[in-house]
Structure 1
């Protein structure tokens, strides 16, 4: 397994901290105290995803957060200020909610694996962000909820990601009650992959990222796209689609190299596109 090297940090301040560590890019939400997804923070996330989408250097993206809250979701104070707009806030609400939704779609569309690193509360659109990531690893003290119903606002957009990560009845339970669930329940529901003690969170996430980054970037790109596309198909259609993907993958350069390396009992040498 290749070691992660070439550590560097960028943007020591700001709403979104960027840390590049070899093939792993760490993006840290930094909007204290609740890491609310303000329009500015959403725009920063969108810009990072757009910039990295075609990168040959970044293999894995980690989304983390500073402080005791992963993210409390949309910035309710910011939204409320725009009720004074001539249209009652409609245009701003549409802009903020659509941008958040676009970011969730971008996550699944990126060729890189995206890992959520959660230490604290992930609520509403913050929970939506966790559910949208390819993998999610949290501390044993982390909590999750979609509490919109408590303030007269059903979490309709978080619902889209949640119902695709958790089992349907469990997702609807969260949406209907607005109650907070602990890390163990979130794992049972399917929202997170693994729970670790707080002191080992970064170490475990870095290990996952390093392992994934050592794989064929060509195979990861093909596989991630196929994973999300087939998930929305019937079983018969999914197999028809997956057969085509598998054949094209077998014909690809990295599959030829990987199989040859396995048969020759040597380490594969992946090449960039």
Structure 2
């Protein structure tokens, strides 16, 4: 996979976006001296990067420069505006999570280091995640006398009750290996192997049909998040299949190859 060289002007931006091969893009948080805490400029940069990827990227890798993945919202920044009311609305931290959740591309979190508070929220809202074994993931909010407003609910929806409670109530950090054992991430690898592992995962996912990925992502959020009853879930599965048949020739082509005894993408 080729990686474009960023210009000096680009590297000064709080969020970098690169478009790689085969429908894969990478969004990188670029405030390493602030542990990639998300100030208004970074949040707006994230929204712009997601917009840039819309319609051209099947898979988006999200990662951070330096020792941190993301330390959450920058609490030291006051009420700052971009000067664009619509962008301000979309770059509020809860809205950024919805931008990721509703984006047509599959989002993979490459957790390279510290993921604290809102950084852990990003792991939970990503569709897939790979962490460095040495990463540190936690929620410090209880130490401020707070309940983690986004990170808490995100963990409670994704993790077992006791694992979520441990993160919320102790302010202790877990490493990437523990995060994989708990199901917070799909895989943990040594930090030196993170880029290779994430790139391989992104390439595999991007090898599939774009419409199939987009609608499968929708179904993964819909069930059981909105539909938890069996009959309704199966009915929604049929709706998704009908949408894909109407929107893409990939289904007919794939069935044709199968009937002809040929292998489809992803088959061993």
Matched, 1:234 2:195: no
> Which runs of 5 or more structure 2 residues have no equivalent in the other structure?
80-87
> Which runs of 5 or more structure 1 residues have no equivalent in the other structure?
83-94
Contact kept, 8 Å, 2:64 with 2:111, in 1: the verdict is yes
Judging changes above 3 Å, is the alpha-carbon distance between structure 1 residues 175 and 97 closer, same or farther for their aligned structure 2 residues? farther
- The one of 138, 145, 169 equivalent to 1:176 is 169
Partner of 1:21: 20
Deviations 1:10-45 (A, max 9, x none): 523311122211211111111122110111100100
Deviation at residue 153 of structure 1 after TM alignment = 2.2
Contact kept, 8 Å, 1:39 with 1:96, in 2: the verdict is no
Matches within 5 A, 1:68-147: 68-79=67-78, 99-147=92-140
- The one of 248, 251, 256 equivalent to 1:255 is 251
Partner of 2:84: none
- The one of 182, 188, 192 equivalent to 2:181 is 188
Deviations 1:122-154 (A, max 9, x none): 000011111110111011101110110111222
Deviation at residue 170 of structure 1 after TM alignment = 1.2
Alpha-carbon distance in structure 1 between the residues aligned to 2:243 and 2:89: 39
TM superposition score normalised by structure 2:
0.86
Judging changes above 3 Å, is the alpha-carbon distance between structure 1 residues 169 and 58 closer, same or farther for their aligned structure 2 residues? same
Judging changes above 3 Å, is the alpha-carbon distance between structure 1 residues 157 and 50 closer, same or farther for their aligned structure 2 residues? same
Partner of 1:156, secondary structure, is coil
RMSD value, Cα: 2.3
